[in-house]
């Protein structure tokens, strides 16, 4: 099996809550260009997970957040019989909005604060729906 990289790429994301809504971004670049997603991106060398999450949310959505804890760790693997196209290990954090008005930036072309009951209208991958639902449960149990 051929590979683009000999190891997984570490990426981060955050399920950011503001009152009873969570943040989604519409991606402007691959993977999933044009689709809605949990905001996040690659962790940079020398950067802690928390610093990477805060940077990515600031770059993609223009807001500041408080990280509450770990929501999930997910492996996103895209391959066929002969080629591994990508393998991201994504560390998703549970977070709360602290300040700022959302604005699309970096590789995001749109942002939205979404009520949990409207999650099905955003055509998210099943794994992201699962992670958001899990984060909602964690948030409720912490309250």
Q: Which residue ranges form the domains of the chain, and what is each CATH number?
A: 2-142 (3.90.79.10)
**What is the per-residue pLDDT for 40?**
95
Q: 118 phi and psi, to 5 degrees?
A: -100, 5
Stretch 39-68: mean pLDDT: 97
**What is the per-residue pLDDT for 4?**
60
Instruction: Please state, in angstroms and rounded to a whole number, the distance separating the CA atoms of residues 31 and 76.
Output: 11
Q: Does the pLDDT of residue 2 top 90, yes or no?
A: no
**What is the per-residue pLDDT for 1?**
45
Q: Does the pLDDT of residue 29 top 60, yes or no?
A: yes
**Lowest mean pLDDT across 37-41, 82-86, 96-100, 133-137:** 82-86
Q: Does the pLDDT of residue 136 top 50, yes or no?
A: yes
In order of 25, 51, 84, the CA distances from 64 in angstroms are 15, 11, 35
Instruction: Please state, in angstroms and rounded to a whole number, the distance separating the CA atoms of residues 89 and 74.
Output: 6
Q: 10 and 42 in contact (C-beta within 8 Å)?
A: yes
The two structure tokens encoding residue 5: 């990289």
**What is the per-residue pLDDT for 5?**
66
> How confident is the model over 67-101, as pLDDT tens digits?
999 999 999 888 888 888 889 999 999 999 999 99
**What is the per-residue pLDDT for 66?**
98
């Amino acid at each position: 099996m051929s590979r683009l990289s000999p190891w997984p790429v570490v990426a981060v994301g955050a399920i950011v809550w503001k009152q009873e809504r969570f943040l989604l971004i519409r991606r402007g670049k691959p993977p999933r260009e044009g689709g809605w997603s949990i905001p996040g991106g690659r962790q940079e060398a020398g950067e802690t997970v928390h610093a990477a999450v805060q940077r990515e949310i600031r770059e993609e959505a223009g807001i500041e957040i408080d990280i509450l804890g770990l929501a999930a760790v997910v492996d996103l693997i895209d391959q066929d019989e002969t080629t591994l196209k990508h393998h991201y290990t994504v560390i998703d954090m549970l977070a709360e909005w602290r300040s700022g008005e959302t604005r699309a930036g970096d590789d995001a072309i749109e942002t939205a604060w979404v009520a949990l009951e409207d999650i099905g209208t955003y055509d998210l991958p099943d794994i992201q729906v699962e992670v958001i639902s899990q984060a909602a449960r964690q948030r409720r149990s912490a309250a």
